[in-house]
Structure 1
Amino acid sequence: MALVIMNVLLLLFSVVLVRSDQTTTPLKSFKIGENVTYDCINIYKQPGLDHPLLKNHTIQMKPSRSELNSQTGNNITQKNKIKCPDGTIPVLKNTKDFLTSSNLFPENYVHPQSVDSPGTHIAGVRSHAGPYRGIQAWVYGVDLKIEKDQASYSQIYLGSGVNNKINYISAGFMINPGLFGDGRVWSYGFWKGKDEKGCYNTACSGFVQVSQTIPIVQPIDISPTEPSFLRPFIHQDKDTGNWWLTRLGPDEPNGDVGYWPKELFNLFDNGASMVGVGGVVKASPSGSSPPMGNGKLPDGGRRTSAIFANIDVLNSNYKQSKISYFPIEILVDSPRCYGLRVGTVKWYRRTRLGYFFNYGGPGGNSCGV
């Protein structure tokens, strides 16, 4: 069971097949920072639709769900707004360095199906009481010092597995200099589906971007004085079966970014068997593990270390409930370097207690393999 758990979470680092060309001339481009440019591409000619399983796919412009019950969303305000013209969507322009890094990072430093996979560690919770139709949570983001051959993630995820075959989707924050070429905090999405194929963001085909203003992947402006929270929501569309990524935030109601089409998956027809939240780190080949969360162990107060809060799931009937309504499993594989603390809070006008989870730690040179 432990090996299965690790293999599922290690899917974050699976080999990425990167699209190295741009077949569509952008209508407009936005440069929002050093080496970060978005091209506005015709929505019907976007790279995501080049996947061989999507030859006959019809784009779904909006999810068919009813309004979400969410008291609040992320507190992130981007300095540089992206607003692509009607009929186009933003796609991160892949530089030569990004393409090289995307190919080399997983190949050189990760062996996903190996018991001795070097230096991947987790601290989080999950529930196997599915089927589930979705998960959302406040995901904590903070600027950390991460070396070029390391990575640190904070994520929500859902997945299903049968006979060592996995379908998997995750979203949240990442710091991954080996992938992006810088040490900034980035939002991201990842999927793995049929035939063990998968991809980050829009680095290769599969994800269908719909929003004109919110790309699936972007650098996040982190405040030096207060934590930044992203509230991603991964959910299966009730009518189409597609898996949508929505960002709940204060600037606009329910920012529907795009979706992973149902055609990419073969184990998600009736929902996902598990959902979870947590931190994941990838150590350097030398064995040095990076910090997770905000770099502090969860041995102080609620605000001392990183936190996941307001974790909601959709059950098989699309009913939204706190994750505390379901049995959960705690996952911590390197307690000397990373930890997790479960806290409870009574939700307003409810007698049921809800959970929040403090997590993270400093890493170091003695975290184990």
Structure 2
Amino acid sequence: MNEMATSLVGKGRDHHHHHQFSSLLLLLLLLFFFCPDALADSTSSNFTTVKQVSSLRMARIHRHLNKINKPAVLTIQSPDGDIIDCVHKRHQPALDHPLLKNHKIQKILPEFPKAKNMVKVDGLMNAEKNVNSSNNSENDNNLRSRAWQMWHHSGQRCPKGTIPIRRSTANDVLRAKSLYDFGKKTRSLRMSTERQKDAPDVVSVNGHEHAIAYTGASQEIYGAKATINVWDPVVGVVDEFSLSQIWVLSGTFDGSDLNSIEAGWQVSPVLYGDFKPRLFTYWTSDAYQATGCYNLLCSGFVQTNSRIAIGAAISPISVANGNQYDITILIWKVHL
């Protein structure tokens, strides 16, 4: 099984500085039964609709949540209301996948790939080293000064050997069309048969507004890197979403062998219940039919970093005519 390693770095920049993109393969910009004790609640900042849910459905939802919300070594309350569970890396949802039952998680990350004109960035591995070598007081200051996700502002971090996972709730599931659709791209957003052959312009259906830059497969490609500015675009209604991502594809568009790895930030009220830009990943190995999901909401995506919570809000973010903040994402193929 081939694996793709993903590195993400968040940093701030002066607003006069222009973004540079290197080795960008594909960058996409897109903008009942009555039961009194099973009632989904709603707030002004949450898109969960108040509705009556059958006790049978709620039981199925809670069974699913118990499956994906793994026991935590430490639980961190994020300032934005998220709950971050620090889960032992060997207990993460990815390893529930049948093909990963005996998977050995690498203790030492592979060396970053070398590419022409690639600029070395101050990565998370260096940050981890600095944090681990300082005392508790310095730890708190260092964590806050390097904070680029909302939960970092709590001043807490996950212990070594664990990974941070955003805890899913019943309301998260209820915003989806069904339990089956939870964590997956909605059917209306998947590529239609008529449009599959129009690659790489595969996202112009359903009224999407987008800007896209891409490169074809003139030669073998082993990875891609992008630096993406982070904003909080206005999303007016529950069915709307906005994202900026790097998108790596292989396979064909006229069959079920399309492989996709996506990573970036997104504002998605349906998925998260708010307007915050959040770090996300998505993968599929069969053209979005039966495999894959967002973040860690299904088995298959192995995480090793203890500082990144996939699905957590990014903070701070860019301001018009002010400071600019971005994330750098590197995806590359690792030979094991």
TM > 0.5 fold call: yes
| Contact 1:82 1:212 survives alignment (8 Å) | no
| 2:94–2:298 Cα contact (<8 Å) kept | yes
CA distance in 2, matches of 1:96, 1:34: 18
Equivalent residue letter for 2:72:
P
Aligned to 1:112: 191
Which of 87, 92, 96 is equivalent to 1:46?
92
Residue 226 of structure 2 aligns with which residue?
137
Any unmatched runs of 5+ in structure 2?
A: 1-25, 31-60, 124-145, 196-204
Give the Cα separation in 2 of the matches to 1:166 and 1:9.
17
1:121 is displaced (CA, Å) by 3.6
Aligned to 1:144, the other structure's residue is in SS state coil
Q: Which amino acid aligns with 1:176?
A: S
Q: Could you report, residue by residue, the CA deviation over 1:320-361 in whole angstroms, capped at 9, with x for unpaired residues?
A: xxxxxxxxxxxxxxxxxxxxxxxxxxxxxxxxxxxxxxxxxx
Q: Is the 8 A contact 1:209 1:215 kept in 2?
A: no
Rounded to whole Å, the distance in 2 between the matches of 1:123 and 1:24 is 38
Name the counterpart of 1:156: 246
Residue 60 of structure 1 corresponds to: 106
**Using CA pairs below 8 Å that are at least 6 residues apart, which structure has the higher relative contact order?**
2
What is the rounded CA distance, in whole Å, between the counterparts of 1:223 and 1:160 in structure 2?
Answer: 32
- Paired residue for 2:304, among 189, 210, 226? 210
Correspondence for 1:340: none
How far off its partner does 1:93 sit?
0.2
CA 26–143 in structure 1, closer or farther in 2 if over 3 Å, else same: same
User: 1:106, CA displacement in angstroms?
Assistant: 4.3
Does 1:234 pair with 2:335? no
Task: Report the structure number with the largest CA radius of gyration.
Answer: 2
Aligned to 1:88: 162
Distance in structure 1 (CA, Å) of the matches to 2:109 and 2:167: 26
Cα deviation for residue 81 of structure 1 reads: 4.8
Paired residues, what number? Answer: 226
| 1: CA distance, partners of 2:193 / 2:209 | 14
More strand by share: 1
Q: CA shift at 1:25, angstroms? A: 2.1
Contact 1:186 1:219 in 2 (8 A): yes
Are the counterparts in 2 of residues 109 and 118 from structure 1 also a CA contact under 8 Å?
yes
CA distance in 2 between counterparts of 1:130 and 1:183 reads 39
Amino acid at match of 2:226: A
Selected match of 2:263 from 171, 178, 194 = 171
**SS of alignment partner, residue 100 of structure 1:** helix
Kept in 1: contact 2:84–2:165 (CA 8 A): yes
Q: Identify the residue that residue 190 of structure 1 maps to in structure 2.
A: 282
Report the Cα offset of residue 70 of structure 1: 2.4
Q: 1:62 to 1:130 in 2, by over 3 A?
A: farther
CA apart distance, 1:181? 0.4
Q: SS of 1:44's equivalent?
A: helix
Shift of 1:42: 1.5
Q: 1:199 to 1:82 in 2, by over 3 A?
A: farther
Q: Which amino acid aligns with 1:119?
A: G
SS of corresponding position for 1:208: coil
Could you list the runs of 5+ residues in structure 1 that have no partner in the other structure?
1-7, 13-17, 241-369
1:77 aligns with 2:148: yes
| TM-score normalised according to structure 1 size | 0.55
Alpha-carbon distance, 1:55 to partner: 2.0
Specify whether residues 73 and 100 from structure 1 end up closer, same or farther in structure 2 by C-alpha distance, changes over 3 A only. farther
The DSSP-based 3-state class of the residue aligned with 1:209 is coil
Taking every aligned residue pair, what percent have the same amino acid on both sides?
28
Residues in 1 aligned to 2:311 and 2:324: alpha-carbon distance in whole angstroms: 19
CA displacement at 1:131 relative to structure 2: 1.6
- Alpha-carbon distance in structure 1 between the residues aligned to 2:275 and 2:78: 16
Tell me the SS of whatever aligns to 1:56: coil
Higher helix share: 2
Deviation of the 1:108 alpha carbon: 6.6
Q: Distance in 1 between matches of 2:194 and 2:331?
A: 29
Aligned-residue offset at 1:193 = 1.1
* Structure 1 position 72, deviation (Å): 4.1
Is the CA contact 1:189–1:201 (under 8 Å) kept in the aligned structure 2?
Answer: yes
Distance 1:226 1:114 in 2: 43
> Which of residues 48, 66, 78 is equivalent to 1:21?
66
CA change 1:198–1:66 in 2 (3 A) is closer
- Quick one: which of 226, 235, 248 aligns to 1:146? 235
- Aligned residue for 1:154, secondary structure, equals strand
Instruction: Map 1:239-278 onto structure 2 (within 5 A).
Output: 239-240=335-336
1:230 maps to amino acid: I
1:97 aligns with 2:171: yes
